[in-house]
Amino acid sequence: MKKYKTNTESRVIISELMLPSHSNFSGKIHGGYILSLMDQIAFACASKHSETYCVTASVDKVDFLKPIEVGELVTLKASVNHVGNTSMVVGVRVEAENIQTGKVKHCNSSYFTMVAKNDKGKSVSIPGLILENKTAIRRFVRSIIRKEDSVTRRNRFKDSEFELESHLEILEQYNVKINL
């Protein structure tokens, strides 16, 4: 019998105070450090949903919308937005709070595709997802559309189908010099 879970059953929220050791030379928190935290929470959320070990298969586009300052409290929220047979898309949202003023800012969001694995490294089936509200349905459908867009983008740039001549006009708009 197939098992199903709601996304609230596997939701994970973590908070961490940003320290000077997390900052770059301009005094802002390293993007790589935030990406590492995002990957950790995506792993925790996916493992909680699948009840097994998970690995990161891909990360959708990450835009750093606002810088995070030393001393801010960063909160990461993760939930399962989409499931397949062995993989799931985990949405991760990053917010930073100025603990003196209480002002919260959205710093970035991204989508991690995670794959459930057994102890031999083989992909395993995961529970289905119960969509309880309009937001859950919207997130599920958006994940499907992102996946379709990704396949289209990947196919558009296959080496075997790339025609240089048809793209030279595009390159004229950019700061490049072609030496073939």
Domain range annotation of the chain: 4-131
Token representation of residue 23: 């900052």
Token representation of residue 114: 């995670």
CATH, domain 4-131, list 3.40.50.2300, 3.10.129.10, 3.40.640.10, 3.50.50.60: 3.10.129.10
CA 6 – CA 125 distance, rounded (Å): 16
Write down the pLDDT at residue 177: 84
Write down the pLDDT at residue 130: 96
Contact 9, 15 (CB under 8 A): no
pTM of the model: 0.88
**CA 142 to each of CA 5, 77, 89: distance values in angstroms, whole numbers, following the listed order:** 19, 18, 11
Token representation of residue 138: 């919207």
Nearest to 42 by CA among 102, 95, 107, 112: 112
pLDDT per residue as tens, the chain (180 positions): 789 999 999 999 999 999 999 999 998 999 999 999 999 999 999 999 999 999 999 999 899 999 999 999 999 999 999 999 999 999 999 999 999 999 999 999 999 999 999 999 999 999 999 999 999 999 999 999 999 998 888 877 776 677 778 778 888 888 988 887
Q: DSSP letter at 18?
A: P
